[in-house]
Amino acid sequence: MTTSPAAALTTVALAQPFTDQKPGTSGLRKSSRQFQTPHYLESFVEASLRVVPGVEGGILVLGGDGRFGNLAAIQTIARMAAAHGVARLITTTGGILSTPAASHLIRRHQAVGGIILSASHNPGGPEGDFGVKINGANGGPAPESITDAIYQATLTLEGYRILEADPVPLDQPGSFQLGSMAVEVIDGVSDYGALMQQLFDFDRLAALLKGDFRFAFDALHAVTGPYATQIFERQLGAPAGTVRNGVPLEDFGGGHPDPNLTYAHDLAALLLEGDAHDFGAACDGDGDRNMILGRRCFVNPSDSLAVLTANATLAPGYADGLAGVARSMPTSAAADVVAKALGLPCFETPTGWKFFGNLLDAGRITLCGEESFGTGSNHIREKDGLWAVLFWLQILAVRGCSVAEVMADHWRRYGRHYYSRHDYEAIESDAAHGLYGRVKGMLPSLVGERFAGRAIATADDFAYTDPVDGSVTQGQGLRLLLDDGSRVVLRLSGTGTQGATLRVYLESYVPPSGALAEDPQVALADLITAIDDLAQIKARTGMERPTVIT
């Protein structure tokens, strides 16, 4: 054990508080440039350390996705944690810690919470984005009561406390002392691999991956590289090279670490335009998202949640069945249909993983997911990219069929929810809010009106009452529910950092007897045209087409 010499406690005064540190859908996310502003990171961390219960004398988990700014921020936060009386700080070699692995560490070590440095799927580097996410003792994203209190604290912050000390070496595991705080540097990968081994049948998966099944995993030069290499190649014996772009880079190799058809185009092309692979998957910057591809087959994330729900008992960790499922409001109702058939409770929450926390803690759900490539379960309190990939491998191994066959069989049984999300990114902020405000104002007059050949049955701004603690969250998205069960939802993103991002969610259900093999953009064409007419999207954004279509 080494003791850092010259450890002295300092209070740094702020000339004035920062007024823009309100966390969005998932933590505080800003440009790297903004985070380089002197005292900017420290302000948000100080507020968080004051607000999160139990920090003094407690255990804290700290790590990030390896992007530009990660290592420097870890050193700063470690010294601040020491100044706030944290008893033990758990951090990782190279500062590499995925969001799901952080959630697991918090729970395993009964920490009071964790600080995860990531702007998730946003690009990194000096010209990219940085972010800070605060998680609570259950391992999940802090609820709004906490993030609101943190924001309030930043608004009146007079200064912050920090220990002056040498940096903690992060190049290998070890134990250190920072003032009176113990620092443990651990390998962030092994605990997570062990957890996965409890949930899935690794012998069966190894047999699949060592056989002639061809799998390509793209880590997009983000945090899952070391985890995927450890689990797929070392633990399960997949051929070397199965994991692509597996070395985390500060700027993700200049890419956009967002596992969708636009930003993970190399993998998408490999699976959708070629026949050399049976299965493809990718995760995002911080490892909580997943994209699933089969040979010439893209699995929509809403469908993925439904398939996992329908096949859950094939995985050892879920062999006893599920307590219930939940999905975020804009996620398609594909999982609802499965839940109904299985007699399971099904919940609809606002966008953002923090809203699943209470349901998971109360044991009311086992699986949950979002249309934005997020799927997870009660094994932790975050969505979990590699978990979802392993779950799919488990299903394919047990059923012995292709991804396309799993999907076709699923739709034949439950019907198909044609679904797409159209994102209009980096719109000028006033234009986006003008568009959104106008539709919001129109809602009361829309009920009963015609829309894409159907009638509008409900038009509202989604509000949610948490069934566990009764808290109410309003303003979560404009919904047009049509009389045939189709719907269109509009939301403004809470994670973007440039201008505003409008998300348009489109959904239409076809029963098992209907046409199940259409192109979703064709099946949804009338809804796409109708919402553009109603919301004047092209005219008001000046954009001919969405930036990203999922």
Q: Tell me the catalytic residues.
A: 120
Which of 228, 89, 94, 56 shows the shortest CA–CA distance to 173? 94
Site for Co ion in 259-298 (CB under 5 A): 284, 286, 288-289
Distance CA 287, CA 225 (A): 9
> What is the C-alpha separation between 479 and 458, in angstroms, rounded?
8
From the list 74-82, 84-92, 351-359, 519-527, the region that binds ligand VG1 by CB under 6 A is: 351-359
Contacts of 460 (CB under 8 A, 6+ apart): 443, 478, 479
Torsion over CA: 383, 386, 387, 393 (sign):
positive
Question: Which H/E stretch holds residue 160?
Answer: strand 159-164
For residues 226 and 496, which CB has a smaller minimum distance to ligand VG1 in the complex?
496
* Residue closer to ligand VG1 (CB basis): 201 or 336: 336
Q: Does 121 bind ligand VG1 (CB under 6 A)?
A: yes
- Residue closer to ligand VG1 by CB (options 184, 425) is 425
The one among 372, 378, 394, 497 contacting ligand VG1 by CB under 6 A:
372
Closest distance of CB 199 from ligand VG1, Å: 21
Q: Minimum distance from CB of 374 to ligand VG1 (Å)?
A: 6
Q: β-strands 181-186, 174-178: how paired? A: antiparallel
How far apart (Å, rounded) are the C-alpha atoms in residues 423 and 476?
A: 17
CB-CB contact of 404 with 374 (8 Å):
no
Compare residues 23 and 179 and give the one whose CB is closer to ligand VG1: 23
Out of 289, 327, 410, 454, point to the residue binding ligand VG1 (CB under 6 A).
289
Residue 92 corresponds to which tokens in the numbers above?
A: 């990782």
Amino acid, res. 444 = P
Residue 382 binds Co ion, judged by CB under 5 A:
no
Q: 């799998």: which residue's tokens?
A: 215
| Measured torsion, CA atoms of residues 306, 401, 388, 190, in degrees rounded to the nearest 10 | 160
* Residue 424 contacts which entry, ligand VG1, Co ion, none (Cβ below 5-8 A, type-dependent): none
- Secondary structure element (H or E) that encloses residue 83, with its range: helix 70-83
Indicate the SS3 state at residue 316. helix
Which one among 290, 351, 486, 550 touches ligand VG1, defined by CB under 6 A? 351
Which region among 274-282, 346-354, 399-407, 504-512 touches ligand VG1 (by CB under 6 A)? 346-354
Element (H, E) at 29: strand 28-31
Binding positions for ligand VG1, 408-467, rule CB under 6 A: none
Looking at beta carbons only, is 193 or 257 nearer to ligand VG1?
A: 257
Which of the listed partners (ligand VG1, Co ion, none) does 495 bind, with a CB threshold of 5 to 8 Å by partner kind? ligand VG1
Please tell me whether residue 197 adopts helix, strand or coil conformation: helix
Of the residues 352, 357, 369, 376, which one makes contact with ligand VG1 according to CB under 6 A = 352
Residue selected from 21, 25, 300, 375 as contacting ligand VG1 according to rule CB under 6 A: 25
Residue count at the site for ligand VG1 (CB under 6 A)?
18
Cβ burial, residue 50 (10 Å; 0-12/13-18/19+): middle
Phi-psi group of 408: left, alpha or beta (phi > 0 → left; psi -120 to 50 → alpha; rest → beta) = alpha
Structure tokens at 386: 């590699």
Q: Shortest approach of ligand VG1 to residue 44 CB, angstroms?
A: 16
Segment interacting with ligand VG1, rule: CB under 6 A, options 187-195, 392-400, 406-414, 487-495: 487-495
**Percentages helix, strand, coil for the chain, rounded to the nearest 5?**
35, 25, 40
CB-count exposure of residue 140 (10 Å: 0-12, 13-18, 19+): buried
Please give the span between the terminal C-alpha atoms of the chain, in angstroms, as a whole number: 51
Residue 280 binds: one of ligand VG1, Co ion, none (C-beta under 5 to 8 A by kind): none
Nearer to ligand VG1 by Cβ, of 230 and 550: the residue is: 550
Distance of closest approach, residue 458 Cβ to ligand VG1, in angstroms = 22
Min dist CB 447 to ligand VG1, Å, is 26
Shorter beta-carbon distance to Co ion: residue 42 or 286: 286
Under rule CB under 5 A, residue 466 binds Co ion: no
Q: Which entry of ligand VG1, Co ion, none binds 26, CB below 5 to 8 A by partner kind?
A: ligand VG1
Residue nearest to Co ion (CB): 120
Q: Which stretch binds ligand VG1 (CB under 6 A): 300-308, 348-356, 396-404, 506-514?
A: 348-356
Amino acid (1-letter code) at residue 519: D
Reading the block at residue 197, the tokens are 């081994």
Residues lying near Co ion in the complex (CB under 5 A): 120, 284, 286, 288-289
Residues lying near ligand VG1 in the complex (CB under 6 A): 25-26, 120-121, 284, 288-289, 328, 351-353, 370, 372, 374, 493-495, 503
